[in-house]
Structure 1
Amino acid sequence: MKVRANGIDIEVEDSGAGRPVVLLVMGLGMQLVAWPEAFVQALVDAGYRVVRFDNRDIGLSQHFDAAGVPNVLLESMKHRIGLPVRAPYGLHDMAGDAFGVLDALGIESAHVVGVSMGGMIAQRMALAAPQRVLSLTSIMSSSGARFLPGPKPQVWRALMAKPEGTGEDAIVNHYVKVFKVIGSPGFPLDEPQLRDRIRLGVRRSYHPVGTLRQMVAIASDTRRAAELHRVTAPTLVVHGKDDPLVPFLCGQDTARRIPNAQLVGVHGMGHDLPPGVVQSILTPLVPHLRRNSGP
């Protein structure tokens, strides 16, 4: 369903009738359908109401094509050397979208769970309105500190490559290659299942330029690392020890900066959500939610 959130149209999926609410925030270029159904159902079975949404510029939420196509390489270089990055919107705005979703659904507060870029948005939410964040869970994400290690060269090349054609099969093949590069070595991919999930997303919406604008939004958020000491929400940081896109040091740095954060490192986990990784996340996540849900 569509809701009006933070002045724009956001696509939302609302599952379960339990309480409190778990708000799931997805990562770069990914749609709400990228959350594995087994993950969502496990949270519903644990008694939670689970809210997912498409971030701005992706999926069925409002696109920002009037903002043009950013020069990602240039803006990334500027970020690396400490120059201001030009972005049509920032992670502050995307955190505002998430709060707008809660407002539209009449939800005062929620557990906020984000993966990758979604973890960065979740961190921004915990900083912006601590009274509305029951707990924070940052998965395969980063503080955004400038000198943290980045993707391995082959990962960067895979991310910046383009499909070899414009048809659906070419696009699916491209993303299969990407996920093979960033995936979890300890949790082998079921390729037919992966293809089906990617095809579902491509048919629902294919908007790669929105991903580029989101990348620039990440690069422009240069002050978050220095602010994370102000986070008061009980925080769980889960990170793959074999993540080739956002290395494990990024998770360690996030947990170090947030007071009393719990860090869980997962051997064999990369930057995806296959069934084994889902279970490895749920094992610490559900107790974390229960500890911080109140009576």
Structure 2
Amino acid sequence: MFVTARDGVKLYVEEAGSGLPILFLHEFGGNYDAWEPQMRRFARRYRCITYAARGYQPSDIPADLESYSQRIAVEDALAVLDGLGIEKAHIVGLSMGGFATAHFGLIAPERALSLTIAGTGYGAEKAFEEYFRGVSLAVAENFERLGAKAFSKVYALGASRVQFQNKDPRGWAEFAERLSRHSDMGAALTMRGVQARRPSLYDLEAEFAQMAVPTLILTGDEDDHCLQTAIYLKKTIPAAGLAVLPKTGHTLNLEEPELFNTLLAEFLAQVEAGAWARRDPRADPGQVMRTK
């Protein structure tokens, strides 16, 4: 089915199951179908929704750069909920979808039952901010010049993707094939409009410190440019927990689906039981041992 975004863009949506809703937001290298291991697991107890972001077939692919931004990515997630008549949902995002999830918590916290921010951090580190913008623009150019079919062979072998290939060659091959089907124009515009222009999460520290939504942060220990950002988010968001997956790269939900699903299921259960609270103020991060 399709829902209509606020600017008229059509977004392709799939759903399965019934119960409390979970909205899955995919990464740049994925699409709506990259959440299949989660859709199959959680549709047994939840109403699971996944959709193709604008710029990703079969959703519309606007040709105007100004149709792509971090803010618009959040507005699209809200449009999907609105189109399905859903007031509040658990929001789960990976990488590009993780940034959208984090911003969702700032822009529309009243619509989120919880936030799961996975594999999120590229470009957030202040020391690598300009480098990331340059790389994003170079990637956009390569999608345009070489096309997704050819450039996917390079992109799929990034430093935080080879872990997936080593563990699960068949799963990685499916990821690479999915990437090869990206729209050349959609991928380029997404890189330029969303990735290269989004603000650093470190610039939003005051806002995150006030965000009360229960939050799970997931990262791989070999996803180097997400590790420090994950720790920063854990220290900043009052009701945040952090899980680091060992010997794991960027494609968390596909590389380690069983572990990802187990951690997510336990988090959702604690949130729904009212047991995922803010950090106890007695857990002073400046204290090593109590003396009096």
TM-score normalised according to structure 1 size: 0.77
Change (3 A) 1:29 1:184: closer
The separation in 1 between residues aligned to 2:128 and 2:143, in whole angstroms, is 27
Q: How does 1:72-111 map to 2 (within 5 A)?
A: 89-111=68-90
Per-residue deviation, 1:205: 3.9
Which one of 142, 146, 149 corresponds to residue 162 of structure 1?
Answer: 142
The separation in 2 between residues aligned to 1:125 and 1:241, in whole angstroms, is 25
The separation in 2 between residues aligned to 1:125 and 1:142, in whole angstroms, is 16
Residue 19 of structure 1 corresponds to which residue in structure 2? 19
Q: How does 1:19-58 map to 2 (within 5 A)?
A: 19-28=19-28, 30-35=30-35, 37-45=36-44, 47-58=45-56
Change (3 A) 1:54 1:145: same
The separation in 2 between residues aligned to 1:6 and 1:205, in whole angstroms, is 22
The separation in 2 between residues aligned to 1:284 and 1:93, in whole angstroms, is 29
Residue 123 of structure 1 corresponds to which residue in structure 2? 102
Which one of 181, 188, 195 corresponds to residue 173 of structure 2?
Answer: 195
Per-residue deviation, 1:223: 4.1
Pair 1:225-2:216 in alignment: no
Per-residue deviation, 1:89: 4.5
Per-residue deviation, 1:6: 2.1
Change (3 A) 1:211 1:167: closer
Q: How does 1:111-260 map to 2 (within 5 A)?
A: 111-142=90-121, 147=126, 160=139, 162=142, 166=146, 170-178=150-158, 181-183=159-161, 185=163, 188-203=166-181, 205-206=183-184, 207-212=186-191, 213-219=193-199, 223-244=203-224, 246-260=225-239
The one-letter code of the counterpart of 2:166 is: P
- Please say if residues 10 and 62 of structure 1, whose CA atoms lie closer than 8 Å, have aligned partners that are also in contact: yes
Per-residue deviation, 1:163: 6.9
SS of match in other structure, 1:15: strand
Per-residue deviation, 1:90: 3.1
Change (3 A) 1:277 1:150: farther
TM-score normalised according to structure 2 size: 0.78
- Please say if residues 143 and 253 of structure 1, whose CA atoms lie closer than 8 Å, have aligned partners that are also in contact: no
Residue 76 of structure 1 corresponds to which residue in structure 2? none
Change (3 A) 1:108 1:133: same
- Please say if residues 88 and 217 of structure 1, whose CA atoms lie closer than 8 Å, have aligned partners that are also in contact: no
The separation in 1 between residues aligned to 2:254 and 2:178, in whole angstroms, is 18
Residue 5 of structure 1 corresponds to which residue in structure 2? 5
Per-residue deviation, 1:274: 6.4
SS of match in other structure, 1:242: coil
Percent sequence identity over aligned pairs? 25
The separation in 1 between residues aligned to 2:112 and 2:190, in whole angstroms, is 26
SS of match in other structure, 1:271: coil
CA RMSD of aligned residues (A): 3.4
The separation in 2 between residues aligned to 1:238 and 1:254, in whole angstroms, is 11
Per-residue deviation, 1:281: 1.6
Higher relative contact order (CA 8 A, sep 6+): 1
**What does the per-residue CA deviation read over 1:139-166, in whole Å, with 9 as the maximum and x for residues that have no partner?**
011397552657999xx59x73837985
The separation in 1 between residues aligned to 2:124 and 2:39, in whole angstroms, is 31
The separation in 1 between residues aligned to 2:273 and 2:129, in whole angstroms, is 38
Residue 272 of structure 1 corresponds to which residue in structure 2? 251
The separation in 2 between residues aligned to 1:115 and 1:275, in whole angstroms, is 11
The one-letter code of the counterpart of 1:55 is: A
The one-letter code of the counterpart of 1:277 is: E
The one-letter code of the counterpart of 1:280 is: L
Which segment drifts farther, 54-63 or 182-191? 182-191
Change (3 A) 1:269 1:95: same
The one-letter code of the counterpart of 1:28 is: F
Which segment drifts farther, 57-66 or 259-268? 57-66
- Please say if residues 143 and 225 of structure 1, whose CA atoms lie closer than 8 Å, have aligned partners that are also in contact: no
Which segment drifts farther, 104-113 or 189-198? 189-198
5+ residue gaps, structure 1, are 68-86
